[in-house]
Amino acid sequence: MFAPVALRFRTYGVELDTACQACCDHMIGLPAIQRWLADARIEPAVVAAVEPHAPPTLIQNIT
């Protein structure tokens, strides 16, 4: 399974069967994914094209 898909399932509350839920839980619990999520929580930069509702003070112009 692809980590962003597992995270989307969790974010959107997709109901999965037991095996798929266990796979997602395992993947999201991996140390590398936990570090990735922790880094994302403290990332100050925002790309306006991806996050159009972000406060203007956080937006970076990335082309």
Predicted confidence band of residue 9 (pLDDT cuts 50, 70, 90): very high
Mean pLDDT along residues 3-9:
94
The DSSP result for 1-63, as a single string, is: --HHHHHHHHHTT----HHHHHHHHHHHHSHHHHHHHHHHHH---EETTT-TTS-GGGEE---
How does residue 61 score in pLDDT terms, banded at 50, 70 and 90?
low
For the chain, the domain total comes to 1
Instruction: Classify burial at 47, counting beta carbons within 10 Å of its beta carbon; exposed 0-12, middle 13-18, buried 19 or more.
Output: middle
pTM summary value: 0.66
Domain range enclosing 21: 3-60
